[in-house]
A = this chain, B = another copy of it.
Amino acid sequence: MATIYQVSEAAGVSLATVSRVMNGNARVSERTRKKVEDAMASLGYQPNAIAQSLASNRTNSVGLLVSELHGSYFGDLMSTVEQILKQNGKHVIITAGHVDEKREHEAIEFLKSRRCDALILHAEAVSDDYLKQLVDGNIPVVVINRKVDDLPDNCFVVDNEQGGYMATQAVINAGHTEIAYISGPLFKKDASDRLAGHKRALKEAGIAFKDDSVFEGDFHESAGQEGMLHFQTHYPNLTALVCANDEMASGAMTAAREAGFDIPSQLSIVGFDNVLLARYLYPKLTTINNPIHAMGEMAAYWVLQHVYNIKSPIPIEHLFVPEMINRDTLGNL
């Protein structure tokens, strides 16, 4: 592996000059630039990014924490962030936190130890205090899909309450009044916000909220099946089911079908997130779009602007609006 020293020797110039042509910034005459570039090419020189980072205190890499490396929600997020940053010559280091406080913490410390220039976090388990402390530290941080009080400028979130409201409102508008709800784990802010929106829609329509009409799931497919089973005995006359995410909706659909319900003629189902999966289900799932793509994009632009002084092509916004995606699982009563 050739080093800058060998290049400088081959080109007959000093280290500093080689470094200058590499970085393009400083002033180098055309003639020397050419000499150096030729030397680089003939040696197959490739700068050592590690050494560059150490010397410049810039790694040109941003850390991205997601909960899982699989799943279309995170796939979307990773793809978006990577694409935008790569376009601007920055790189992404991805780690997974697995919704576990210890592992998220370790992952973040890892990214810090790698001296990422900035952090984009989809952190679910770590405390608000820790995040605040992080933001106050010397590394720029943005948080996706989580609203931390006192950090309005670092958070990018979808209006979950509004999304929950819209889902239920759509069901009500289709004439339903016997509406069950499968929520996410309520200690999670997004899950409880969505449920709050559901309740608001019910209230606004003058439909009494019954405790029996909600089942607390865990956002996984199996919880959708369990929820559906639960309602068959505890809420047998339901005609519509709104689920706090698409995976649970999928599970509920499977269970409903096995129980002999036709969707949507006998049971309407609405999801949340508009994950890729939603289009593949049969019937195609009516759901609420969670603009994860837009949030990832915004987070990436925020970093470019705040850390690398590259102006964002779009204005930075922090609150994203959910959107109704009408497909085939919501029927009129």
Cα A97 to Cα B112 in complex, Å, equals 26
Q: Is the CB of B59 within 8 A of A69?
A: no
Interface flag for A314 (CB, 8 Å): no
| Most B-side CB within 10 Å, residue of A69, A115, A138, A253 | A69
Q: Is the CB of A138 within 8 A of B1?
A: yes
How many monomers of this chain does the complex have?
Answer: 2
Q: Is the CB of B82 within 8 A of A50?
A: no
Chain B residue with minimal CB distance to A57?
B50
Q: Is the CB of A110 within 8 A of B82?
A: no
Cα A200 to Cα B251 in complex, Å, equals 39
Interface flag for A312 (CB, 8 Å): no
Residue in contact with A250 in the complex, picked from B47, B91, B138, B280, CB distance below 8 Å: B280
Interface flag for A134 (CB, 8 Å): no
Q: Is the CB of B282 within 8 A of A257?
A: yes
Cα A257 to Cα B283 in complex, Å, equals 11
Q: Is the CB of B59 within 8 A of A70?
A: no
Contact residues of A with B, CB < 8 Å? Answer: 1, 46-51, 53-54, 59, 68-72, 74-76, 78-79, 82, 91-96, 109-110, 112-115, 138, 250, 253, 257, 276-277, 280-282
